[in-house]
Amino acid sequence: MKLWHHTLSENDIRQCLRIATGASIGFFLCKFFNWNYGVFFTVTPILLLGMIPKMTGHAARQCLASALVCGLEVGILGGFFGGHPVQMSIIVFLLFLYKFACMSKGSLFLFGANGALSLSIMLNFASYPGTDLNELIFTNLGASILSVMIAFAMTALIPCIENDTSTSASNDTATIDQAKARLVPEPKPQPKARNQTRHEMLMGATIATLSFLMFQVFNLSDSMSAQATSVLLLFPMHWNGTLGYARKRAMGTILGVAVGLIGLLLLYNWSGELVLVLPVLWIGLMLFSYTHAKEGGGSGVGFGALTTLGILFGQYLTPDNDFFFSALYRVSSILFAIVATLLACYLVHRLLNSFEATRYGQ
């Protein structure tokens, strides 16, 4: 684990500020205007500002396209196949298959990752009778548009420093490196083998579909955190990466819940006052953004804690909800989801490795 081994630069501090402030703005707007599905408004800015070093037009198009496509997919599935579980399961598998194919290609990773996560959450919400499907679809689309606007605003207000001396060596060393680069061109990255791509696609789509079916069969309508975790664990795209991220996700979940509970204990009877909750959330997000930066970015303990805290405050901090019970329930359900997902990943990995056409490696 690379925790605390990465030296923070000025740009790392600025990214921490962008993540904490951007997610807090999404949370504030959601609660101030009393919008439902606050998880979309809080977690989506974290994904955009935490996974991408600098917000670009290409990233924005992928985010908006994934929200639009997911809305169409959920609307069609819910409208035409809601009462046909077998046909719906097959279609869900095919939808996840092409999303993980986009992730495997690399250039469309954000489109596939955001689409897989949103599709999993929205399908679970849409499967229950009390859900307004139109509200769900347009809320997710509106949250994506707002999150892109927030990400661009944070990038403009807290920009990266082009010449960050704290992340580079001396000028002499930089000059030598540039000379070496001109004399010895960098090798082009080798494309993935087809069997490796098939392995990543099939493993991701199979586990995501099994997760969806499990939550439907056992009627786990209030375990969105666990369902999101089962999809997030698939982002490394292979067994070894999933195993490594599972440990970090478990640690991040425990830290996120602990900080959320401590913050609400400090507020006590004032936990319903938005003006007091907002600074507590910002401090927690800043703390975990710092951890995320110290790990060198990527899906680590800090990122897991960020998403956990975002889900807790965004979705479960409501006047008629027991936040403390929700927080403790999140821990147990997520830890169970991690164990179940790891077991399923290992079995599917071994099965796919049995065939030459889908062999990834040991």
Written as one string, the DSSP assignment of 210-230 is HHHHHHHHTT-TT-HHHHHHH
pLDDT at 266: 84
- Helix/strand/coil for 298: coil
Burial of 38 (0-12, 13-18, 19+ CB in 10 A): buried
Termini Cα distance of the chain: 21
Q: What size, in residues, is the chain? A: 362
pLDDT at 179: 35
Distances (CA, A) of 89 to 41, 81, 93, 213, 223: 28, 9, 6, 8, 20
Look-up: residue for tokens 């490796």? 196
Burial of 272 (0-12, 13-18, 19+ CB in 10 A): exposed
Distances (CA, A) of 309 to 6, 70, 313: 23, 24, 6
pLDDT at 205: 94
Residue 22 and residue 25: Cα distance in Å, rounded?
A: 5
pLDDT at 41: 94
**207 in any annotated domain:** yes
Q: Which of 23, 71, 28, 73 is nearest to 43 (CA)?
A: 23
Burial of 325 (0-12, 13-18, 19+ CB in 10 A): exposed
CB count within 10 Å of CB 122 equals 26
**128 in any annotated domain:** yes
Those residues of the chain that have pLDDT short of 70 are 1-6, 163-191, 221-222, 317-323, 326, 361-362
Using one digit for the tens of pLDDT, what is the confidence trace for 303-353?
889 988 988 888 776 655 666 776 777 788 888 888 999 999 999 999 999
**178 in any annotated domain:** no
Helices (H) and strands (E) in the chain, counts: 13, 0
Domains in the chain, number: 1
Q: What is the maximum span of the chain, computed from C-alpha positions, in angstroms?
A: 68
Task: Give residue 106's Cα distance to chain centre.
Answer: 16
**5 in any annotated domain:** no
pLDDT at 320: 56
**2 in any annotated domain:** no
Residue 253 and residue 301: Cα distance in Å, rounded?
A: 8
Supply 147's token pair: 């999150």
Q: Name the phi and psi angles at 214, rounded to 5.
A: -60, -45
pLDDT at 54: 80
pLDDT at 222: 66
Residue 276 and residue 271: Cα distance in Å, rounded?
A: 7
Q: Which of 166, 167, 149, 156 is nearest to 17 (CA)?
A: 156
**236 in any annotated domain:** yes
Domain span at residue 35 reads 10-160+195-358
**168 in any annotated domain:** no
Supply 358's token pair: 């889908």
Contact 248, 304 (CB under 8 A): yes
**327 in any annotated domain:** yes
Q: Half-sphere exposure of 206 toward its Cβ, with a 13 Å CA cutoff?
A: 19
Helix axes 301-316, 10-32, angle to 10 degrees: 20
pLDDT at 178: 42
Written as one string, the DSSP assignment of 90-151 is HHHHHHHHHHHHHHHHSTTHHHHHHHHHHHHHHHHHHTSTT--HHHHHHHHHHHHHHHHHHH
